[in-house]
Amino acid sequence: MKNEDDAKDVFQEAFVIVFQKISQYKFEGSFEGWLKRIFINKLIETLNKKKKESFFLDVFDADTDFVEEEELDVPPIEQDKLLEYIRDLPDQYRTVFNLYVFEKMKHREIAVLLKISEGTSKSNLNRAKHILQKRILSIKNFKIA
């Protein structure tokens, strides 16, 4: 979420769901994974409700070659500053970035979860990386190639 109060609200609502559905946990797979899925689903549900139109635009053109997981050359940055930049990303880019980088989800999983194409997931991740790169380089007084 973009601010701490909204994040706390989603967190609390997700815990309410956990307590309501705890009897549905079947002790198959990890409890942590079950919790994580509830929290991610609640977050995405909340983000979707905030938008009057579709949360994601499926902008990936299947006929276009896609550069897979390109590595970006970025100088070191303080963790707090990086997290601030991630929070400032547009919702669709931030969501895909967080799911891929922090939750270690694959593009196929993200696509199913967010109801977008796998290509859109890849495209949104690359756009997020490039936005972050530009912001980091701008404060470090570097030029972008």
If one counts the domains in the chain, the total is: 2
- Cα separation, 114 vs 95, in Å, equals 9
Q: Provide the pLDDT confidence category of residue 52 given band limits of 50, 70 and 90.
A: very low
Question: Which phi and psi (to 5°) does residue 103 adopt?
Answer: -95, -5
CATH at residue 79: 1.10.10.10
Q: Do 23 and 77 belong to one domain?
A: no
- Which structural domain, as residue segments, surrounds residue 129? 54-145
Q: What is the pLDDT of residues 71-94, one digit of tens each?
A: 555 567 888 888 899 999 998 999
2 φ/ψ angles, rounded to the nearest 5 degrees: -80, -25
Q: Are residues 114 and 68 in the same domain?
A: yes
pLDDT in the model for residue 73 = 57
Residue 63 pLDDT > 50, yes or no?
A: no
Q: Are residues 37 and 59 in the same domain?
A: no
pLDDT at 141: 64
Distances (CA, A) of 68 to 10, 111, 132: 32, 16, 18
Whole-number mean pLDDT of the chain? Answer: 81
Give the span between the Cα atoms of 108 and 85, in whole angstroms: 26
d(CA 28, CA 51): 35
Would you state the structure tokens that stand for residue 27, as one six-digit string?
A: 């002790």
Whether 59 and 95 share a structural domain: yes
Q: Could you tell me the pTM of the whole model? A: 0.62
